[in-house]
Structure 1
């Protein structure tokens, strides 16, 4: 649930649930001037629920960076969970653009199937239930980042990448050897808001293995460049099973295009 009126709607409702024994929250909160952290949970919610014995949550707060006195870190947020139990909670702070920060706090293990707006820095845990992931950062994602994502999100099916920064030292014609990032369950890849290097990252079979990719959202011209006008062998395999291409494209395609995407 995405909210713009958390303090006036959800919070008063929660405070009336004094007999609640089990609570599960999944919230994405916007238009608030302070993050939801451990102190807030303790003083504004949990103190009103004396019989609560099970609390599973994912709460993501978006705030503007204007007016911040210092750069906020995940460690700052983590320290606010002393009374709740830091070993059962994780936090991620991500600067998604020049004017906005996202703070995500969640109980461990993470039991939800959707996670959004995380960046290069995330906890070294396994998100075994997540099938939908959206990543966004002002710092480039390098190849090692996508290898870490594979390990942390083993059942990922939908992956959306927003990053206009070019990968560090990335050359789409490079012959450098990589540890292949294997996404065995990925079916939908959205790179419409990503730099061309990330298209290379995922379509080049020497870098990424996506055997079940059937849906791709991408800028047509970037796709054309990466695939060398739909003739490049290194990117052919990862395109072979695509059934849906979401992009603004010419009405007429070459024969090479249809050979490249035989299931369209």
Structure 2
């Protein structure tokens, strides 16, 4: 036993790890006596059961736990059942649990796939803050996504918003991305502007054209009255988006953007949307 080992075991009561998870992330000397533990990783990991769960098993004195993870699963999403069985039941002194967990699952003709409604209902008896869940399936990618988080949402990033996005106020979020295999309509962007009032970066991944486009000259469509404003937006990335979304953001009767904005878009898209820069 070294002096450093004794320090890790006896002196540190709060441990924060911001890392790419691997076999070498945690060792036997990783402090397991901490009362506060935050684990943050933006990269996908398939080592949830091999690395993270065993570590938490050893941290029996935890009073506060923060998990921010993206997990690649084989058979089922990480849901309330998993959190209760693998985490909460082992931490008897835990009184605060904040989490933001995205789990991804390959679609391989599973007999049962959890629905968004079922996943949300499963958290009704969860002894924590309000829990939000969002389940989506993407046939083209042959992949399912499940996003569960405690609310209020503490992170600065909210990734892969879909058409199933629920209302809420996310005042700490600065970077947002969209992804879906169904088109995004004007009403969703209105909702996003209200939910993320301080958003600075927005990325759209969607190659599907909008189905409910409207025209500025239409007298039968009141949506032209709902001009969307993103007052703090600094970067808009449309490289992986259909032309309709460039139109959604660049036409002034749909969206009002700040004067100083970094716009990432193909020149050919810009020419088409602006009719060769005539509008």
Short-chain TM bin: 0.7 to 0.9
Match of 1:121 among 164, 184, 188: 164
In 2, Cα distance between equivalents of 1:94 and 1:86: 24
Aligned counterpart, 1:215: 262
Within 5 Å, which residues of 2 pair with 1:45-56? 45-56=87-98
Relative to structure 1, the CA distance from residue 83 to residue 30 in structure 2 (aligned partners, 3 Å threshold; closer, same or farther) is same
The aligned counterpart of 2:206 is: 163
TM-score, scaled relative to structure 2: 0.78
Q: Are residues 131 and 102 of structure 1, via their aligned partners in 2, closer, same or farther at CA, if it must alter by over 3 Å?
A: same
SS of aligned partner of 1:111:
coil
- Supply the distance in 1 between the matched residues of 2:90 and 2:190 (Cα, whole angstroms): 43
1:132-174 deviation line (CA, Å, top 9, x unaligned): 1111111110001100100111111111111111001326x65
The offset of 1:212, in angstroms, is: 4.6
Output the CA distance in 1 between the equivalents of 2:249 and 2:235. 12
Aligned residues: 231
Checking the alignment, whether the CA contact within 8 Å between 1:95 and 1:138 is kept in structure 2 is no
TM-score, structure 1 normalization: 0.82
Residue 155 of structure 2 aligns with which residue?
112
Alignment partner, residue 27 of structure 2:
none
Give the conservation status (yes or no) of the 8 Å contact 2:153–2:170: yes
CA spacing shift, 1:118–1:68, aligned 2, 3 Å: farther
Paired residues for 1:194-205 under 5 Å: 194-205=241-252
Query: Which is richer in strand?
Result: 2
Residue 77 to residue 213, structure 1, CA distance change in 2 (3 Å): farther
- 1:22-78 CA-to-partner distances (Å, cap 9, x unmatched) read 111110112432100001000011111111111111000011222233553221112
Secondary structure of residue in 1 paired with 2:147: strand
Tell whether 2:124 aligns with 1:77: no
CA–CA distance in structure 1, aligned partners of residues 241 and 131 of structure 2: 31
Query: Structure 2: where are the runs of 5+ without partners?
Result: 1-40, 219-223
Structure 1 counterpart of 2:253, from 206, 220, 242: 206
More displaced 10-residue stretch of structure 1: 40-49 or 29-38: 29-38
2:232 is aligned with 1:185 = yes
Deviates more, 1:78-87 or 1:46-55: 78-87
Larger deviation: 196-205 or 7-16? Answer: 7-16
2:178 corresponds, among 120, 126, 135, to 135
Once the two structures are TM-superposed, the CA of residue 124 in structure 1 deviates from its matched residue by 1.8
State how far apart, in whole Å, the 2-side matches of 1:103 and 1:204 are: 34
What are the ranges of 5 or more consecutive residues in structure 1 without an aligned counterpart? 233-264
